[in-house]
Every structure is written in structure tokens, then in C-alpha cells.
Structure 1
Amino acid sequence: MTTTVTTRTVAYPADDLTMTGHLALPAGAGRRPAVLIGPEGVGLSDVERRRAEALAELGYVALAFDLHGGRCLEDPEEMLARCMPLLGDPGRMRDIGHAALDVLRAEPRTDPDRIAAIGYGTGGAVALELGRAGVGLRAIATVNGLITGRPGEAAHIRCPVWAGVGSEDPIMPPAQRDAFTAEMQAAGVDWRLVVYGGALHAFHHPTVGHTVRPGVGYHPRHARRAWHDIVDLLAECLCPPATE
């Protein structure tokens, strides 16, 4: 049954920009578990806004955070010019993640002891860096963003990590998957990886097509499955109370 969800735009500073996030609140007045949502490299779009609202309907406080100061970088060259240096700079990714996390924690409806971070592509890499920085998250989920970190820092991750990737994703090929899982295993992380057969990069994103770059495409069936897997992870790790 759909509940009443309240949304608002929140502005906050990060990465020398004014970021514009999308906050979704569930019905009721009490504190709720909370979820930070990171977007693909193109930036915050209606896709992530709708996911925040869907999570709010399930009883979570949800904040879809911004990467590019309120912009959605539709031009592939512009997107890569900003995201590639960002992905190579764990400190910048952590700063962006911490700034958004501060906004989520400051929301009175948020239960600060029950927060998870999920993300897609670059946003998933940001979620992982928060874990490597030792942030007290209850769960981390990353789709496409299987970026390995600096040596030894995965040992700071203190929660389960779920990762999803398409079997035909040329940006996250088998060697990258293997490096990521080896990092998680060596650090003693409670991890799992789901490989979605036949799916390309950004398979979860309904507005992405092959025009962005080769190897990118939407897969509706696996997009639904990945979403259900993430929702199951959140239910397992955050145990949301019934909505009021």
C-alpha cells in the first residue's frame, strides 16, 4: 500500500560546488532508518529521485545526492572529463559522500544509527569509499561501481557489501570484478556479488542507451531484479519499523 511521501530539494556545499540533493520522507513523525543514494556518472536525475521516493514509501528516509552541482552531464565527453579524475581521487569521493551524509544525518526523521549507502556507477564508488573511510554504515550496495580502493582500506568496512554488475559490462570486465572481490575477501568483508547475465553497463538506468558509449544499455528485467536485491539487503540490515 502506498503511503504519503514528502519530498524537498536540499542544497549543500561539496567539491567546491553547491550540490542539490533530493530528500524523500516517509509518512509519520518518528525516526526512520535512512538510505543515501548515489547516481551514475551523468549525475542526479529523475531516476534516482524516484528511487528515493520508492524507498520512502517503504518507510526509509532517503537522500539522492548530487555529483555535479545541480547539473546532469548528458554529453559523454564532459561526463568522463569530470568523473574519471573523481574516480581516481578517493579523498574527493569521500568528501562528496560525507557532505551528503551530513545532510541526511541532520534530518530529524533520520535514525543516525541505521544508515545505509547505495549507489550506481560513480555514486556506488562514493558509497564504497565511505565504507573504506570507516563510516558506520549498516549496508553498502553498488551497481556497476566495482572500484577497488587503496591497499588495506577495505578493512575499515564494517557492514555487508552487495555488488551487482552485468556480465557483458565492458567497463567492469571480469578482471575488475575479480580485483574487487579479492579486495573484499582479503579484508574479511561480508560481501556478495551478483552478475546479471547478458546485461551491459548501466543496465539499471531506463534513460541510458547506446548513444552514451558502446557497452551501455538498459535491461528492464535485470533492472527490476537488482532493485529487489537492494531492497532485500536494506530490509536485512536496517530492519525498518512499520510506517505510522
Structure 2
Amino acid sequence: MIARREVRYDIDGLTMVGHMSRPGGGGPWPAVLLGHDGVGLDDYQRGRADDLAEHGYLTFAMDYHGGRTFFGEPQAMLDRALPLMANPARMLTIGQAALDVLLAEPGADHNQLATLGYGAGGRIVLELGRTGVPFKALAVIHPGLPTPRAEDWTNAGGTFLLCTGSEDPLCTPAQILTFGSALQDAGVDWRAHIYGGAKHAFWAAPTQPDGTPTGGADHLSPTVPGVGHHAAHSARAWRAVLDLFSESIGAGTSRRPRA
């Protein structure tokens, strides 16, 4: 049985509220750092951390909004996320603080390290990878992408997985492939998954105000343009992440992945 707990830590002028998920049994365990998307650290992404722990990965889901989420508040989310994404040094500081929390956790295997990021959280973990953090696997789902320059990625290692939807206007397939080409020119191993018909944040199932699923693909609360749920591709993207981590840092995939 996994163990999960809230972890508070101070960075960027805020008290962050992260989520640590530990596998059952004894360590050491391969370690995964997870970065949430711009809306905030929600139940879905805490659930991703828990699912990774059930697969044998010690996982820390960082926070970069000080415990806040921005459901139904797209402008407030953009006001917080866009200045952050315009400041690589600030993103790196936030990401490094979360990585320090993960690596300080008893049982973390510092030699078997991976990361996963969604949206703006994908950009944060990319900044860590760019500066040479020794991730053996780096997976990003509709990330905020930096300028694609091969010279910026010569210190990166491991295997990159880049995922987006064919209908995502914020992280387009063309942008993913251009960024992948820069990685390739830098000698980085990479792969891309483009999910046909999927929009931005295709993993995020719409919910009622009480948190129950609407059962549809369209969000009832205000969002940024181009957001929509795609259940089949949500499951496929998660399976791709699990396959990458199994290949790269060695924990098994005996459980059926959840959508």
C-alpha cells in the first residue's frame, strides 16, 4: 500500500503545498518529479503521483501556485503563469526547490531519476533538464515550449517524450516537432506522440461544481481557448509515460494504467 502526504516548502515568496507519494515496501525507489499544469495541483495530478507510486516510483508532485488552483479563473491563471514562463531563472529556482524536496526523501534513488510535466509544469521540468539535471526520462504533455535552439540542450540527457493533441492551439504538433528537431541536433534522444482530435489539457475531465464528472468533453467553467477532454487519448498518453519510465528507470508496469 502506498503512503501519501502533503509537503510544505517555501520558494518564490510562497509556501508551496506539494504531494509526496511513496511506494509500499522498502526502498530505494526510482524517483519522479511531477509538475502540474497552469491551473494548479489538482486531484488528477495528485492521482498521477499516487499511480506512479503504485507502480514503484517515489513521486513528488510540486506546487508552484502556493496551494492555489485556478479552476474557472483563466485570466487569474494566466496572470500567474505567463510571467513565470517568461522568466527561465525563476522557473529553474522553483523546479530546483521541488527537486530538492524529492531527493531529500528517504528512499529516493538519486541515480534513477525521471520527471513528468503538464503545461507550464512541463516548461519548469524542461528548464531543469536543459541545465543538466540527470533525468533518465523526461515526459511533457502539452508543455510550454522554449525557443527551439540546439545549443541550449547540449547538457540534457536521457530520453524525452513530447506529447500534444492535434487540435491543441497552445502547444501545436508543429511546435512539438520543431522542438524535437532542436533536441535531435543537440544529440538528445526524443520521441513525440500526437493524439488525433485531442485539444489542450485533453486529460482533464470536466466536472460539476461538486467535483463529480459531467460525463462530456466540454468544460462548463471558463477556460482558455482550445481546451477539451478526450478520454481515450488520456489513457494512451498515460500508458506512454509509464512505458517510458519502465524503459528508463526500471520499475514495472504490472498494473493496468488508469485513464
TM-score, structure 1 normalization:
0.93
Contact 2:161 2:191 in 1 (8 A): yes
- Please tell me whether the aligned partners of residues 116 and 234 of structure 1 are also in contact (alpha carbons under 8 angstroms): yes
Q: Match of 1:157?
A: 156
| Runs of 4+ with deviation above 4 angstroms | none
Instruction: Tell me by how many angstroms 1:73 deviates.
Output: 1.6
2:204 corresponds to which residue? 205
Write the distance in 2 (CA, Å) between the matches of 1:168 and 1:230: 21
Q: Percent identity?
A: 45
TM superposition shift of 1:10: 0.4
- Residue of structure 1 equivalent to 2:215: none
Give 2:139's aligned residue.
Answer: 141
How many aligned residue pairs are there?
Answer: 240
How far does residue 80 in structure 1 lie from its aligned partner after superposition? 0.4
Aligned to 1:27: 24
Amino acid of the structure 2 residue aligned with 1:85: P
Q: Does 1:107 align with 2:105?
A: yes
Q: d(CA) in 2 for partners of 1:149 and 1:114?
A: 28
Using the TM superposition, give the Cα deviation of residue 99 of structure 1 relative to its aligned residue in structure 2, in angstroms. 0.5
| Structure-1 residue corresponding to 2:80 | 82
The secondary structure found in structure 2 opposite 1:136 is coil
Choose from 5, 8, 20 the match for 1:8.
5
CA RMSD of aligned residues (A): 1.7
Report the alpha carbon displacement of residue 146 of structure 1 after superposing the two structures with TM: 4.9
CA change 1:207–1:103 in 2 (3 A) is: farther
- 1:194 maps to 193
Cα distance in 1 for partners of 2:87, 2:181 equals 21
Partner of 2:64: 67
Q: CA 1:240–1:85 in structure 2 vs 1: closer, same or farther (change >3 Å)?
A: same
The letter for the 1-side match of 2:53 is: A
**SS class of match (1:97):** helix
CA deviation map 1:145-183 (0-9, x unaligned): 050247422111111100100000011124422431222
Change (3 A) 1:150 1:228: closer
Q: Secondary structure at the match of 1:156?
A: coil
Q: Which runs of 5+ in 1 are unaligned?
A: none
Q: Structure 2: any 5+ residue segments left out of the alignment?
A: 208-217, 255-259
